Amino acid sequence: MKKGPEEPILIHMKTCGGDWQEGMAIYDAIQYCPNPITILCYTHARSMSSLIFLAADKRVMFDHSRYMFHDGTFSYSGTVKQYLTEAEQIVKDTDDMLNTYVKALKKSGKMKRWSKKRIRNWLTSEMNKKEEVYFSAKEAVEAGFAHEVFNGDWDKLKEYDSNMLDID
């Protein structure tokens, strides 16, 4: 929950994804920072970085960036009991992942008037159809994963609209 009027922060994000725990630590740090945060996405927001991107108050993509979500990748080595424990946790993490996407899509884009259940069903359906679901920057804005495509206006990018703050 942002309280403002702290100085806005601009994060330049260029990453290919990442690890769930490490990524959620970054997500939480951004989500609970008292400053308004804009993330400018270079190349893509995919896998774990698609979730990190959603933590920002303002999400901007370069025109040729891509947004991608998927079930994630899992590899394992250890005992059977360890595997079963990990598998149990992955189910919980997947639920958290879907809730994070739903929360963002309820705030902007063409799905914001949909029910949470409908959005969740759509996400699950898309991930069941394809291993990885990609959106162009423009499509990401239309869906609600991003707020805008960067137009080269650095002054406008640095401006912050306090109406975007997530005050619960």
Q: Tell me: the pLDDT tens digits for 15-57?
A: 988 899 999 999 999 999 999 999 999 999 999 999 999 999 9
14, pLDDT greater than 70: yes
H/E run at residue 117: helix 116-129
Nearest one of 31, 35, 37, 33 to 5, comparing CA atoms:
35
The CATH T-level fold of domain 9-164 is: 2-enoyl-CoA Hydratase; Chain A, domain 1 (3.90.226)
Give the pLDDT band of residue 74 (cuts 50, 70, 90): confident
69 vs 73, more confident: 69
**What pLDDT sits at residue 41?**
97
158 vs 137, more confident: 137
65, pLDDT greater than 90: yes
* DSSP line for 7-64: PPEEEEE------HHHHHHHHHHHHT-SS-EEEEEPSEEETHHHHHHHTSSEEEE-TT
Give the pLDDT band of residue 1 (cuts 50, 70, 90): very low
Q: Are 52 and 67 in contact (CB under 8 A)?
A: no
Nearest one of 45, 43, 49, 39 to 62, comparing CA atoms:
43
Give the pLDDT band of residue 167 (cuts 50, 70, 90): very low
**Distances, alpha carbon 27 to alpha carbons 50, 61, 75, 114, 117, in Å:** 10, 17, 23, 24, 23
What is the arithmetic mean of pLDDT over 130-154? 96
**What pLDDT sits at residue 151?**
94
The structure's pTM equals 0.89
Show me where the domains of the chain are located: 9-164
Backbone angles phi, psi at 110, to 5 degrees: -70, -15
Distance of CA 56 to the CA centre of its chain: 8
What is the arithmetic mean of pLDDT over 7-19? 91
CA distance 135 to 130: 13
Tokens linked to 135: 């959106």
What is the arithmetic mean of pLDDT over 120-135? 96
